[in-house]
Structure 1
Amino acid sequence: MTDLTIPAEWAPHKAIWTCWPSAADLWQEDLEPARAEVAAMVRALIATTPEGGRGDVVHVLACGAEALANARAALPKAVNVHDIAFGDIWLRDTGPIFARRGDQIVALRFGFNGWGGKYDLAHDDSVGDGVARAAGVSTVRAPFILEGGAVDHDGDGTVLTTRQCLLNPNRNPGWDEATAEAFLKRALGARKILWLGDGLANDHTDGHVDNIARFIGPGRVVCMEPFGEDDPNQAVLDQIAADLAAMRDAQGRVLDVVRIPSPGRVLDEDGEVIPASHLNFIIGNASVVMPHYGTASADAALRALAAAFPGRRVVGIQSNAILTGGGSFHCITQQEPA
């Protein structure tokens, strides 16, 4: 499949796909707050800019009669709501990765095993096919386990990932860097793989890269700097920045590394560190939607990210309820290229 290319997230979108929190037994008291956060994200993505920048077409999957009715009542009428079954809302990982093959868009489908066997939910292994059918595109399958949040693309043949996730034996036993690179280059049309080490503390995804480093332009990448003396990821974040600064992309460019503040130390209701990240943003046609968690770093992170995206409106939306499920706005979305 070396004729494939995966456009960068900042390239024009035909649509963005996402999910409506639907399973009351999974979300419990966070169900309605999570729905409110998803609705705020959707409204930000569909909005136009004052300069006339076009917002995104958004497709929302809802599972079950109650969720369908709730989504249709809560979301603007311009939003497309689909009755497609899924396990939970983490569509970046369970859904397809859209790619370009010639003049066509195809849906790349990979194996999914619940982030290394941690969570086994019905329909998480089939929702990608439902999205492909609804999008009206053909499906291309690859014979290995991969979650979309484990890889980030620059649109020029460079893929950024982590050893902690891709070389974890709970995904594809026996993989080393050379084996992983061969599979990724064939399945994703990549020409160069850039490897980082570990991800955030207590991340059940085993270090997804979309929480720690993101391409934001040709030869340009953003990562986080520690916030506060008690930032639980201080050493990891500094190592990521140093590693990125020593890398070249598939075009031979030395990476321009931009750092924004991390959320710092964010705890769950049991006092445990959770993997909060301002980098779990989604880049829309007119907007960038950045998650925040009510921490003191939020405004500074928002300003820094706005400087990195001068052509888009950068919107900060609280994501505490979604984070109780382990992710944020990038984790629950997937862009379909124009």
Structure 2
Amino acid sequence: MNQANKKFYFPAEWHPHKATWITFPHNDHSWQGDKLQGMYPEYFALIREISKGEKVCINVNSEELEIFIQSQLTKYEIDANQIIFHRHKTNDAWCRDHGPAFLIDRENKEKLIVDWGYNAWGGKYPPYNDDNDLPNAIAQFLKLPSVSPGIVMEGGSVEFNGKGTVLTSRSCLLNPNRNPHLNQAQIEQYLKDFYGVEQVLWVSDGIVGDDTDGHIDDTVRFVNEDTVVAVVENNPSDDNYKVLQKNLSELKEMKLLNGKSLNIVELPMPDAVVIDDFRAPGSYANFYICNAGVLVPIFDCPQDEIALNILRGLFTDRPVVGLSAKQIIWGQGSFHCLTQQEPDI
């Protein structure tokens, strides 16, 4: 196993960003028919809010797509000076999972890209070869060193506190559709070697409708180095109730490297988001922490304001902004799934 240099680590999302990377959606397999066009207003609103505090690097699949995006910037009040286009072939929009993992060294003077393997969540949505090639293409463009661990790993499956701990889920990382040749201890070693962490904490599962097999960014998120928000379902008859209660009980047993128990803040689930008889994985935990604020998906239900107020009480250093994700969520992901931060150094 080729290890990343031990001085590098994956910083917490609240670490200052140089930029946010996104892959502009063009695949109507994720948003079928008119749903792709229907989600654009929400997607451009996301770009606008991020661009208020940092550059937005947009992977575009074609010249035509770049021209289209440029034509929409004024309409959505986006400063064109904050947008950087990168012409890369891609298959889909989920940059959190297929994009580069940026690590920084302990003295914040160097940067490294980890190029994990990507197989579209266990081979569910071929082709995915262009997405799999993206981290290496970006590393070459930025002239950054990169390492390739040689196993499948998705950014949405791991959650970091920046102080040596990563949270993940058994349902995803131990799923035989990812790395069937590895056991839990071996996967933990990869996480430690290539993300620069010392501790791996596991919850059981994810929410209904999540085709990633239970990504952690829909269920548990760090908001500071020892505090997490954990989504809970308050309706005992809901399909998410038992699994989220199990995750919560597991979190209560965990200890951080400093010996402290996790400080756990419960975050409600929204009303079930059902579109064309399909229950999408709506969750307030799929927020994105950028320089300009915390961007929270909302779903036009009473829990929206409750969730926003909880998060406002936790993030006191930047605004918490609710943005509609009612159309985006049909693609089975939201703001965190669509973004990947590049830390500043």
Matches within 5 A, 1:32-47: 32-47=37-52
8 A contact 1:160–1:195 mirrored in 2: yes
Name 2:334's counterpart in structure 1. Answer: 328
| Amino acid in structure 2 at the alignment position of 1:67 | L
Distance change >3 Å, CA 25–CA 152, structure 1 → 2: closer
- Identity of counterpart residues, as a percentage? 35
More divergent stretch after superposition (17-26 vs 57-66)? 17-26
Distance change >3 Å, CA 120–CA 105, structure 1 → 2: same
8 A contact 1:71–1:81 mirrored in 2: no
8 A contact 1:286–1:312 mirrored in 2: yes
| Unpaired stretches in structure 1, ≥5 consecutive residues | 48-54
Per-residue deviation, residues 157-211 of structure 1 (Å, max 9, x unmatched): 1010000001111101133221211121111111000010011123110001011
Give the match's secondary structure for 1:126: helix
**Are 1:29 and 2:27 counterparts?**
no
Q: How far apart in 1 are the matches of 2:338 and 2:260?
A: 31
Matches within 5 A, 1:200-279: 200-228=207-235, 230-269=237-276, 271-279=277-285
Matches within 5 A, 1:71-220: 71-75=69-73, 76=78, 77=80, 78-101=82-105, 103-121=109-127, 122-220=129-227
Give the match's secondary structure for 1:58: strand
Q: How far apart in 1 are the matches of 2:135 and 2:178?
A: 18
**Are 1:6 and 2:10 counterparts?**
yes
| Unpaired stretches in structure 2, ≥5 consecutive residues | none
1:26 Cα shift?
A: 4.7
Q: How far apart in 1 are the matches of 2:142 and 2:323?
A: 28
Name 1:288's counterpart in structure 2. Answer: 294
| Amino acid in structure 2 at the alignment position of 1:32 | Q
Distance change >3 Å, CA 301–CA 26, structure 1 → 2: closer
Q: How far apart in 1 are the matches of 2:29 and 2:126?
A: 14
1:24 Cα shift?
A: 4.4
Distance change >3 Å, CA 273–CA 61, structure 1 → 2: same
Name 2:65's counterpart in structure 1. Answer: 67
Distance change >3 Å, CA 230–CA 36, structure 1 → 2: farther
Distance change >3 Å, CA 101–CA 311, structure 1 → 2: closer
1:117 Cα shift?
A: 1.0
1:81 Cα shift?
A: 2.2
Q: How far apart in 2 are the matches of 1:136 and 1:307?
A: 40
Q: How far apart in 2 are the matches of 1:275 and 1:112?
A: 21
Q: How far apart in 2 are the matches of 1:222 and 1:40?
A: 25
Name 1:18's counterpart in structure 2. Answer: 22
1:273 Cα shift?
A: 2.2
Q: How far apart in 2 are the matches of 1:126 and 1:134?
A: 13
Per-residue deviation, residues 101-156 of structure 1 (Å, max 9, x unmatched): 35211111111111101011241111222332344422111121101111111111
Q: How far apart in 2 are the matches of 1:240 and 1:223?
A: 8
- TM-score, normalised to structure 2's length? 0.91
8 A contact 1:17–1:334 mirrored in 2: yes
Number of residue pairs the alignment of both structures matches: 330
Name 1:50's counterpart in structure 2. Answer: none
- TM-score, normalised to structure 1's length? 0.93
Q: How far apart in 2 are the matches of 1:143 and 1:94?
A: 14
| Amino acid in structure 1 at the alignment position of 2:170 | R
